[in-house]
Amino acid sequence: MPPHPSPTTLMQHALAQAEQAASQAEIPVGAIVVAPDGHTILGRGHNRCIADHDPSAHAEIQAMRQAARALGNYRLEGCTLYVTLEPCAMCSGAMLHARLAQVIYAVPDPRTGAAGSVLNLLAPSGINHQTTASLLPDADGGAELRQACADLLTRFFRSRRQQQARQRQQVDHAPLREDALRPSAASLKAEGVWQPDSRWTLVPDPAAPDSAAWRMHHLEQGGAAAPSVVLLHGYAGHARLWQELASRISAAGWRTLAPDLPGHGLSDKPRKADQHQLAWHQSLLAAWAQAQQLPADTRWITLDQAALLLPANIPPEQVLALDTPDAAVRWPDDSRASSSHDWRLRCQRSPVFDLQAHWAIPDQATLLQASYPDAGHRTAMRWPLWAGQPASELDRQYGQQHGRRLPVHTLEPAAEALATSGARIRAALRHNSPMILHWLQQARPAN
């Protein structure tokens, strides 16, 4: 009879199983079950938890199932299991139930090992069977093989960490900040929410650049080589407010970008009202613009309070600041008393404010429901400066030190009588589109 293969030789079969697991993106653990004769391999297995959607599909379980089928008996008395990583509590319990004689492993597991590292479930004195557990011995190249098994695990987990880090930089999988709200993935898949012109951008927080980024949404039309114009919506709005005008502008040869400002639309929403400060908004908008790699001669069209958010380095001649009778621009140093009948003040105070009814955007009910699945959007409404109310002292001081007044063009209202502010603003944008297109034509950068 030929001599028994050494434990190192048998463990090499387990390592081959672990390598097969790694090739399938499973945690690389492999195992074999050897018959009492010390020669015959009765079962082989590697991790298949992901492939089989089975939390019990560990390498040891797979190998024991195959061995039990080969013997026609779930009892594996006298058998030895070789595994590249110390068994967990689940597998150790299964080994006891199968009455394995012994288990030999290559790499201790200091976090979940149940064969002696964290606890030892294989030799309890209170039950009628014990399984001997031991580390693969150094002899006959065992030390080198143990290192090979450990290296395989190290490479796998390093690669997975790197993949997860790359994934976190992708906007679809970006982690949500603890101080932010985000529309649910299910709502974004609803009909009418995500359009071909929708884009995501991860924008680092200017106050905490090492923390998770804010995810900002914008709509984009036109060719990448065309001159660019950014369209900034006003209070309680979102990028879709510009949809009709953006189509006309892009048809005139421009690339349009209409972002959902933080707290609005499909962009992340700060949980707290005090997050909304002029300095923060300006910095975040500047970081978003930088991420788009906008050329220096980009034109900007703002609506209502959005004029306050423009980064200070944008030349005034590149800005067309618009406002409406419903929401005139209020500068940080403006101390005029606000009317108690101001619709923004009513919206700010009303816990049942119906944004959909207010904006009355045709066919956009799904978008608004997806954009505002919670009360997060009200943080922007409670920002005094954004809501057309007197600025906070912090914003007032920042405005005095860094602010500037821009010429503001009040939109001529459309002739039709409309009931909601959203409908009136959209009608005014349509009515004034010739003036806006003329301004862009006059401001078109030279080729």
For strands 255-259 and 214-221, give the pairing.
antiparallel
Question: Which among 425, 421, 400 is positioned nearest to 412, based on CA atoms?
Answer: 425
Contact 109, 88 (CB under 8 A): yes
Tokens of residue 391, six digits: 């600025």
CA–CA distance, 435 with 447 (Å, rounded to integer) = 23
Catalytic-role residue among 60, 77, 317, 393: 60
Contact 62, 105 (CB under 8 A): no
**SS3 letters across 390-442:** CCCHHHHHHHHHHCCCCCEEECCCCCCCCCCHHHHHHHHHHHCHHHHHHHHHH
Give the contacts of 281 (CB within 8 A, at least 6 positions apart).
261, 262, 308, 309
Does the active-site annotation cover 86? no
CA–CA distance, 61 with 354 (Å, rounded to integer) = 56
CA–CA distance, 447 with 439 (Å, rounded to integer) = 17
CA–CA distance, 388 with 42 (Å, rounded to integer) = 77
CA distances from 305 to 321, 352, 388 (A): 9, 23, 7
Please name the residue that has the structure tokens 């009492």.
36
What residues are paired with 231 via a beta bridge?
301
Active site residues: 60
